[in-house]
Each structure stands twice: as structure tokens, then as C-alpha cells.
Amino acid sequence: MRLIAKFIFHIFVNAVAILITNYFLPGFFSGDLKSLGLAALILTVINIILKPIIKLITGPIILLTFGLFTLVINAILIYVLDILSQAITIQGLEELIIATLIISFVNFLIGSSAKLEYKK
């Protein structure tokens, strides 16, 4: 039960991150609530399945860059989201970098605050 709750929470956080990114990058997301949920679900599944594998393979690079290479990994995963989701549109490298920073920051902020609140 706890695993399902965490999965649904991550979908919700990713949906919020996509909406906030769309606020700062107009045209990043185009769709309705159903396509937002689908994009958030795809991003959550990508983060659960692909991200640990890529981090395991690129572990030495992550250590050498003091963790900054994780932003490159996040950018790759958001690009994969762009390929898999019709509602997400990334038009260039600059937009990909900005979207990566916003989504990573929102996920970090909400995830950290939820972990702190859960420990209380």
C-alpha cells in the first residue's frame, strides 16, 4: 500500500512540475488534464525504471562532477519524455535546459518537504 501511495505522489509531483514548467516556458505543455496525467505517468515511470540504470552506468562520471552530471541525466530523461508524449513539446536545447532545471528543482523541493513532513 505504501509503494502505491509513493507512486501516486510522484505522479502528482511530476504533474505539478510540468505545469510550473509550462508557466515559465509557454508552449512546453499543450493538452488537457488527461494528457497531463499521462505525461506525468510517463515521466514517473521513466524516473523509476531508466534513471537508476543510467545512474549506475554513469556513476564514476557523477562522482567526478560532484553530482552535476545528474542534471545531464535529467535532461536526457526529459528528452525521452518529449519523444514519448504528444503533449510535451521541446523546441531547442535552451528550452530543454530550462525545463530540466525547473522540473528538477520542483521535484527536489516538493520531495524534500514531503520527506521532512513525513518524519514528524
Q: What pLDDT score does 119 carry?
A: 67
Q: What pLDDT score does 54 carry?
A: 96
* Per-block mean pLDDT, blocks of 10 residues, the chain (120 long): 88 95 90 92 96 96 96 96 92 94 95 75
Q: What pLDDT score does 74 carry?
A: 96
String of b and e for 37-69 (b: at least 16 CB within 10 Å)?
bbbbbbbbbbbeeeeeebeeebeeebeeeeeeb
What are the residue boundaries of the structural domains of the chain, listed by start? 2-119
Q: What pLDDT score does 2 carry?
A: 82
Q: What pLDDT score does 77 carry?
A: 96
pTM for the model stands at 0.90
